[in-house]
Amino acid sequence: MLSWKKDDYTQSALLWFDFLKSMETYAEAIQFNLNGLKLWIHIFWNEKGEINHVGYFVHPESRQIDKKELNAFLSAYSRLAKKPDFKSGMKISHYTSASFPTFATSR
């Protein structure tokens, strides 16, 4: 993701925080509780900015969550939720950790 934003860490971080916040907003809208969840997450976007694949591992210190429900949530979020614009004309991916609730603020 950094190379997509021309190695601008601030821009990349803000985009990622917006992404996490949109995930949290979607979860709230469908009454899916993310609070206490800690993940290592790897997301792959296509050239159009659509999510092609989400891989994750629940952190050992995370709140326990039903993986079928989490899979369903991530699948629905990938297809349905309003997300930040990741249109880049190239495939990108990002691997990092995520914790909920987020304390990210929009720009």
Model confidence over 69-87: pLDDT tens digits?
999 999 999 998 888 777 7
Higher pLDDT, 103 or 21: 21
Give the model's pLDDT for residue 84.
79
97 pLDDT higher than 80: yes
Give the model's pLDDT for residue 70.
98
pTM of the model: 0.84
Give the model's pLDDT for residue 82.
80
| CA distances for 53 relative to 10, 60, 88, angstroms | 25, 22, 17
Which percentage of the chain shows pLDDT scores above 70?
A: 89
Q: Which of 106, 100, 83, 88 is nearest to 1 (CA)?
A: 88
Kind plus residue range of the DSSP H or E element containing 101: none
Give the model's pLDDT for residue 60.
95
Residue 66: which residues within 8 A CB-CB, separation 6 or more? none
Q: How far apart are CA 74 and CA 50, in angstroms?
A: 13
Question: Confidence class of residue 2 from pLDDT cuts 50, 70 and 90?
Answer: very low
Q: Which fold has domain 9-99?
A: 3.30.1150
51 pLDDT higher than 80: yes
Averaged pLDDT of the chain:
86
